[in-house]
Chain A
Amino acid sequence: WCLPLKSVYVTFPGDVIKNMTNTQLADEYLKRYGYIDVLQKSGLQAVVSNSKALKKLQRQLGLKETGSLDQTTVDAMKQPRCGVPDIRN
Chain B
Amino acid sequence: YQTFTGDLKWDHNDVTYRILNYSPDMDASLIDDAFARAFKVWSEVTPLKFTRLYDGTADIMISFGKADHGDPYPFDGKDGLLAHAYPPGEGIQGDAHFDDDEYWTLGSGPAIQTRYGNADGAMCHFPFLFEGTSYSTCTTEGRTDGLPWCATTADYDKDKKYGFCPSELLFTFDGNSNEAPCVFPFVFLGQKYDSCTTDGRNDGYRWCATTSNFDTDKKYGFCPNRDTAVIGGNSEGEPCQFPFTFLGTEYSSCTSEGRSDGKLWCATTSNYDTDAKWGFCPDRGYSLFLVAAHEFGHALGLDHSNIKDALMYPMYKYIKDFSLHHDDIEGIQYLYGPKTGPDPTPPEPQFTTSSPIMPTKSTPSEKTTTVSTTVHVDPAQDACQIKEFDAITEIQKELHFFKDGHYWKISNKGERKGPFLISEKWPALPAVINTAFEDQLTKKIYFFAEKQFWVYTGNEVFGPRKIEKLGLPSNLDRVDGAVQRGKGKVLLFNGENFWRLDVKSQMIDRGYPRFTDSVFGGVPIDSHDVFLYKGFFYFCRENFYWRMNARRQVDRVGYVKYDLLKC
CB-CB nearest in chain A for B85: A84
Select one of B75, B265, B306 contacting A83, CB under 8 A: B75
Is residue A74 contacting chain B, with contact meaning CB distance below 8 A?
no
- A88 contacts across to B, CB distance below 8 A: 4-5
The stretch of B29-37, B170-178, B256-264, B505-513 that contacts the partner chain? B256-264
Is residue B115 contacting chain A, with contact meaning CB distance below 8 A?
no
Kindly state the interface size class of chain B when it binds its partner.
Answer: 35 or more
Residues in B38-81 with C-beta less than 8 Å from chain A: 67, 73, 75-81
Q: Could you tell me if B82 and A15 are in contact, using CB atoms closer than 8 angstroms?
A: no
Q: Could you tell me if A13 and B234 are in contact, using CB atoms closer than 8 angstroms?
A: yes
Q: Could you tell me if B306 and A16 are in contact, using CB atoms closer than 8 angstroms?
A: no
- A32 contacts across to B, CB distance below 8 A: 81
Q: Could you tell me if A83 and B83 are in contact, using CB atoms closer than 8 angstroms?
A: yes
Contact A12/B316 with A82-B304, A83-B84, A86-B304 known, Cβ cut-off 8 Å? no
Q: Could you tell me if A80 and B80 are in contact, using CB atoms closer than 8 angstroms?
A: yes
CA distance A15 to B230 in the complex (A): 13
Residues in B308-339 with C-beta less than 8 Å from chain A: 308, 313-316
Chain B at the A interface: mostly helix, strand, loop or mixed? loop
Is residue B9 contacting chain A, with contact meaning CB distance below 8 A?
no
Contact A17/B79 with A9-B259, A80-B315 known, Cβ cut-off 8 Å? yes
CB-CB nearest in chain B for A16: B77
Number of interface residues of A (CB under 8 A): 28
Q: Closest approach, in angstroms, between the C-beta of A17 and any C-beta of chain B?
A: 6
Select one of A15, A76, A78, A84 contacting B298, CB under 8 A: A84
Is residue B278 contacting chain A, with contact meaning CB distance below 8 A?
yes
- B78 contacts across to A, CB distance below 8 A: 16-17
- B83 contacts across to A, CB distance below 8 A: 82-83
Q: Could you tell me if B295 and A82 are in contact, using CB atoms closer than 8 angstroms?
A: yes
Q: Could you tell me if B304 and A84 are in contact, using CB atoms closer than 8 angstroms?
A: yes
- A15 contacts across to B, CB distance below 8 A: 77, 232-233
Q: Could you tell me if A12 and B233 are in contact, using CB atoms closer than 8 angstroms?
A: yes
Q: Could you tell me if B314 and A82 are in contact, using CB atoms closer than 8 angstroms?
A: yes
- B476 contacts across to A, CB distance below 8 A: none
Is residue A4 contacting chain B, with contact meaning CB distance below 8 A?
no
Q: Closest approach, in angstroms, between the C-beta of B118 and any C-beta of chain A?
A: 38
Q: Encode A51-89 as 1/0 by CB contact (under 8 A) with B.
A: 000000001111000000000000010111111101010
Q: Could you tell me if A13 and B276 are in contact, using CB atoms closer than 8 angstroms?
A: yes
CA distance A15 to B234 in the complex (A): 8
Q: Could you tell me if A79 and B76 are in contact, using CB atoms closer than 8 angstroms?
A: no
Q: Closest approach, in angstroms, between the C-beta of B276 and any C-beta of chain A?
A: 5
Contact A83/B258 with A16-B232, A60-B304 known, Cβ cut-off 8 Å? no
Is residue B101 contacting chain A, with contact meaning CB distance below 8 A?
yes
Contact A8/B258 with A83-B75, A83-B82 known, Cβ cut-off 8 Å? yes
- A23 contacts across to B, CB distance below 8 A: none
Is residue A43 contacting chain B, with contact meaning CB distance below 8 A?
no
Is residue A19 contacting chain B, with contact meaning CB distance below 8 A?
yes
- B499 contacts across to A, CB distance below 8 A: none
Q: Closest approach, in angstroms, between the C-beta of B20 and any C-beta of chain A?
A: 18
The 9 closest A-B pairs by CB, nearest first: A16-B77, A14-B234, A83-B84, A10-B258, A83-B81, A80-B316, A81-B315, A81-B314, A79-B315
Supply 23 A–B pairs (Cβ within 8 Å), ascending by A.
Answer: A8-B257, A8-B258, A9-B259, A10-B258, A12-B233, A12-B259, A12-B276, A15-B232, A16-B67, A17-B76, A17-B78, A17-B261, A19-B261, A62-B308, A79-B316, A80-B316, A81-B314, A82-B81, A82-B83, A82-B84, A82-B304, A83-B83, A84-B304
Instruction: Kindly list 13 other residue pairs between chains A and B, CB separation below 8 angstroms, not including A12-B234, A14-B234.
Output: A9-B259, A12-B265, A16-B101, A59-B306, A61-B314, A62-B306, A62-B307, A62-B308, A78-B261, A79-B316, A80-B81, A80-B82, A86-B314
